[in-house]
Amino acid sequence: MNQKLRLGMIGGGQGAFIGAVHRIAARIDGEYELVCGAFSSNPEKSKTSGELLGISPERVYGSYQELYEKEKQLPEHERVQVISIVTPNHVHFEPTKMGLEYGFHVILDKPMTFSLEEALALRKVVESTGKLFCLTHTYTGYPMVKEARQLVASGKLGKIRKVYVEYPQGWLSTFEEGGENKQASWRTDPKQSGIAGAMGDIGTHAFNLAEYVTGLETIQLCADINVVVEGRMLDDDGASFLKFNNGASGVLFATQVAAGEENNVKIRVYGEKGGLEWQQDMANTLLVKWLNRPTEIYRTGGGYVSSFAQHNTRTPGGHPEGYLEAFANLYRNFALCVKAAIKGEKAQPEWQDYPGIEEGVRGMAFIENVIASGKSDKKWIDFTI
């Protein structure tokens, strides 16, 4: 019998976009049961949110501190096991740190923390507690993104030479934070979001995707960072040249002022023998391009793809799997690893394929380095952590 993991949530109450996405992702494979939560910093709103979600009133808390303290007092077979944290950036570090120290495994929305300093401190907490940690860089959950990573790792494309990654959005083309748009208000507020706007919100996704697919690490960058919409406090547009640790070069751009664009994140990777291309608008398709023969089209659900792509596919070929399923792959892989840890067993490599603390640290380092480069007169700066 499959025993569901007991899940708690911090944040994600009424009106929150990403909280609902996390809950859907957790439900898709039946690996979790939501048993408790502190869904808002407002106790009454948390209570109302808990009622709407069908959570027992005694396990709906007014703060994350109360959640941890009271859940820890419950018998081991009743208390929460995994905490999902879906708060704004400035409320990532303390709830995550406390959750790990109280003995719970944690799933955290990206970017990992408010600053690189916090990210480095959190890495020490993960290492000292031995608890498992997942960072929800969603796009790594797509089967064809995992296939792209495996193709690069296999060496079939040869040594990687060039990487292009982009994330265009248009939803902040006007001064949305001046109205009732809650998402725009906190994401463009340096007190809640940190030192970056677009580069922190979606630039980190592009950066993570580039390093995940190629297996390379950025060692230098040269950035141009812009505030396009008048009155905005954080960047809403930017681009960066990248240099990787194998000698390859790359280009990354992320913008939230590309009017008419939605969320078509895209990556192209080119090696000595061939290249590949994936974009979210056609998520089931991976184009594999060769130097001396026609382009091949890989499709989700095909029997010819790697075990990593197959493991993260739920439906037969031709049935679209999208953002929610990619999100759910992170939740399922994490659940399988937690269950293996509980049993004292070794997790399979396919299960361990989810973003963790190192990706979080590098993401925060990207934010601080790309903003520093944008402010600098130097052509290139070293990527430092």
- pLDDT, tens digit, 9 for 90 and up, residues 299-341: 999 999 999 999 999 999 889 999 999 999 999 999 999 999 9
Q: Which CATH superfamily is domain 5-136 in?
A: NAD(P)-binding Rossmann-like Domain (3.40.50.720)
Q: Quick one: pLDDT band at residue 204, thresholds 50, 70, 90?
A: very high
Sign of CA dihedral 63, 65, 69, 75: positive
Q: Which numeric CATH code is attached to 142-315+361-382?
A: 3.30.360.10
Residue-level pLDDT at 88: 92
Give percent helix, percent strand, percent coil of the chain, each to the nearest 5.
40, 20, 40
Q: Do domains 5-136 and 142-315+361-382 have the same CATH topology?
A: no
> Where do we find the tokens 């030479």?
161
Residue-level pLDDT at 65: 98
With beta carbons less than 8 A apart as the criterion, state whether 33 and 2 touch. Answer: no
CB within 8 Å of 191: residues ≥ 6 apart: 90
What does the pLDDT average to over 348-362? 98
- Tell me the C-alpha distance between 343 and 249, whole Å: 44
Residue-level pLDDT at 1: 62
What does the pLDDT average to over 363-370? 98
pLDDT, tens only, 237-291:
999 999 999 999 999 999 999 999 999 999 999 999 999 999 999 999 999 999 9
CB within 8 Å of 377: residues ≥ 6 apart: none
Tokens of residue 201, six digits: 């919100």
pLDDT, tens only, 173-195:
999 998 889 899 999 999 999 99
pLDDT, tens only, 131-172:
999 999 999 999 999 999 999 999 999 999 999 999 999 999
> 14 pLDDT exceeds 90?
no
Residue-level pLDDT at 180: 84
Distances 121 to 4, 126, 229 between C-alpha atoms, Å = 31, 9, 34
pLDDT, tens only, 20-63:
999 999 999 999 999 999 999 999 999 999 999 999 999 999 99
Residue-level pLDDT at 2: 73
With beta carbons less than 8 A apart as the criterion, state whether 219 and 255 touch. Answer: no
Tokens of residue 260, six digits: 């008419």
Residue-level pLDDT at 257: 98
Show me where the domains of the chain are located.
Answer: 5-136, 142-315+361-382
**3-state SS class at 239:** strand
Q: Longest Cα pair distance anywhere in the chain, in angstroms?
A: 65
With beta carbons less than 8 A apart as the criterion, state whether 219 and 244 touch. Answer: yes
What does the pLDDT average to over 80-107? 97
